[in-house]
Every structure is written in structure tokens, then in C-alpha cells.
Amino acid sequence: MESLNDMVRDVNENEDLTSMQQTCDIVVEGDSNIHQLTAPGCPVSLALRISSFENSSELNKFIKAVERMVRGSNEYRHWKSYLIDVMGCVQCAITGELLNEVTLEVHHHVPSLYDIVKAVVNKSIENETEFCSFDIATKVIEVHFSNQVGFVMLVKTLHEKFHNGFLKIPKSMIRGNYISFVNEYSRYLDDEDLEKINERLSVTENNCLWSKEVYPDAQVAEG
């Protein structure tokens, strides 16, 4: 197998290396003030931040990418740990099973994580504030740390059941100050998003289509 030194020597002996290096020297130019890459004589530039999307498909891809970024961040893991270690969210709201017995997951209910990202993006667009995925992810994490997220602790299988459309969660089970999010960000969501939120908030222990006979340890708040 050819060694790294041999490969470097082969490249150095290549007559095209000079022209290649010249090309690289031209391309690597950037404006540190606006964070944009440009090339002399080239009409195309690459900006770190954007202010809009060409279509809804591009917006959806961006939101999904930010969702993954948020879920994979240390800050998000710290937030979940805080819910468990400090706030004592160690029990499934429906079955009553404990964290040391089963796998518990944090379910974003009102709003969903997708809705949070979408609202933050739309607010930036409306305010004509340029942004990148890192900017939006940071703001979404800030929304979590401001306790503006409505969440429910669920056993993994019930979390799956909800997202598969076979479980309704009573409003009284939601924790977190989701009303604050609704008041601040609802204007940046469309009618379909708001309809989904209103539908989730309309679910009570009387119309959730399951009873305490099915889940006798359900943590349903009184009143």
C-alpha cells in the first residue's frame, strides 16, 4: 500500500498542482464582516446566513435539519436531565411507571419541536433578520430554557403510539409554560399549525378515548 509520504510526493511532482493551487488561492477569499465567500470574476457567492427560502420544501428541510441539531446538542441533553434530576419528572404521565423501570421520553406536546423551530424561523423572516441553522437552533434551545415548552413524560411505546395517531393526551397532563409560547409565537404559525395546537388543548380526561380503568395510574390533574 502506498504510504502518505509517497502520495504527497506524487502530488508535488504533478505539473497540474501549480494551477490547482492558484485556483485555491483565488477561491479562498471571504468577508469577515458579513461572513460570505466570494471569488473574483465569479457571479456566485456563498453567504453563511439567509433571509428567506425559495419554497416550502426548502423551509421544511431546514426545519428538519435544525430539529436534528437541537436533539443532538449538549444543551438539549442538559435540559432533559434538569427535568429528571431537578424537577423530578421520572414517571410516565399515563402509566405511572418509573424511569428506573422503563424507558421514559420527553414528548413535546404544545408546541411540537417542529412548531417551535418553524415559529422561530418565521419570526426571523418577518423581522428581516438574517439567520443560519445555528442561530435558529440556539434560539430554540433558549425557548426550552425559558420554560416555554409544553411537555409530557411518556413511556417509549406510548410516545410511539401518540405519533402513530392512536393516543390522545389530556391537557391537564401537560407540564411547562406553553401558554407563554402561544402568546409570543402563535402569530408566526399558520392556521394549520394553530388548529393542531387547539385540537391538542381540547383533549380532556373526558374525551381522550381511554380511561383510568385502562391506565389506573394516569397522572391526571384535578379540576
Q: Consecutive sets of 10 residues in the chain, 223 residues long: mean pLDDT of each?
A: 51 51 50 73 84 96 98 98 97 96 97 98 96 98 98 97 96 97 97 97 92 69 45
Report domain extents, the chain.
4-47, 56-201
Instruction: Report the C-alpha gap between 181 and 141 in whole angstroms.
Output: 13
Residue 47: predicted pLDDT: 87
DSSP 190: -
Pair type for strands 30-31 and 36-37: antiparallel
DSSP 131: B
Reference 109, options 60, 212, 182; nearest CA is 182
Residue 38: predicted pLDDT: 80
Q: How many CA atoms lie within 13 A of 144 on its CB side?
A: 29
Question: Global pTM?
Answer: 0.81
Give Cα 86 to chain centroid, integer Å: 23
